[in-house]
Amino acid sequence: MILQHNKKMEATIVALEGRMDAITSSDYEIKMKGLIASGERNFVVDFEKLDYISSVGLRAILATAKQIRSRNGKFLLANVHGSVKEIFTISGLGSIFPFYDSIDSAMAFFV
């Protein structure tokens, strides 16, 4: 999995690419922990280029969401589509998160 982040005024955008599975999900968690520790509060996760997610990935997403919310931060998911969206839905996690269909619409949340 490739992870990139891009700090904007209102939030940090974290872009996921490739596969988020039993092996790569820990990379995501480490990265997020680092960003949270460095004081970032609001996040938008960009799923545009993610092809695959398993329940390990879903749990990692949920865990970071909880951490951020406990710090009164915001955690938004954007561009969740295709089979990844389907997996969110069938796992039961889909209804917990609102999905934003673009980075812009997620960012609009902060203004």
Partner 1 sequence: MIKIEHLSKNFGTLSVLKDISIDIREGEVISIIGPSGTGKSTFLRCINLLDCPDGGSIHIEGIDLLDPKTNVPKIRQKMNMVFQSFNLFSHLSILENLTIAPIKLLGMNKMEAERKAIDLLKMVGLAEKARNFPDELSGGQKQRVAIARCLAMEPKIILFDEPTSALDPTMVSEVLSVIRSLSKKGLTMVIVTHEMDFARDVSSRVIFMNEGIIYEEGPPHQIFENPHKEKTKAFIYRVKSFNYHISSPDYDLYAMNAEIEVFCEKQILPRKVRQNLILLVEETLQLYHSYLSKVSLDLTIAYSEKMDSVELVFESTGEEIILISSEPGTDEFGLNIIKNLTEEIGYQRIQDKSRCTMKLKKV
Residues that bind partner 1 (CB under 8 A): 21-23, 52, 54-56, 58-59, 83, 87, 90-93
Distance CA 73, CA 6 (A): 17
Residue 56 contacts residue 90 (beta carbons within 8 Å): no
Rounded CA separation 54/25 (Å): 9
Q: What is the DSSP letter of 109?
A: G
CB of 87 to partner 1, least distance (A): 7
Quick one: 2 or 23, whose CB is closer to partner 1? 23
Distance in Å, CB of 55 to partner 1, minimum: 4
CB of residue 35 to partner 1, shortest distance in Å: 24
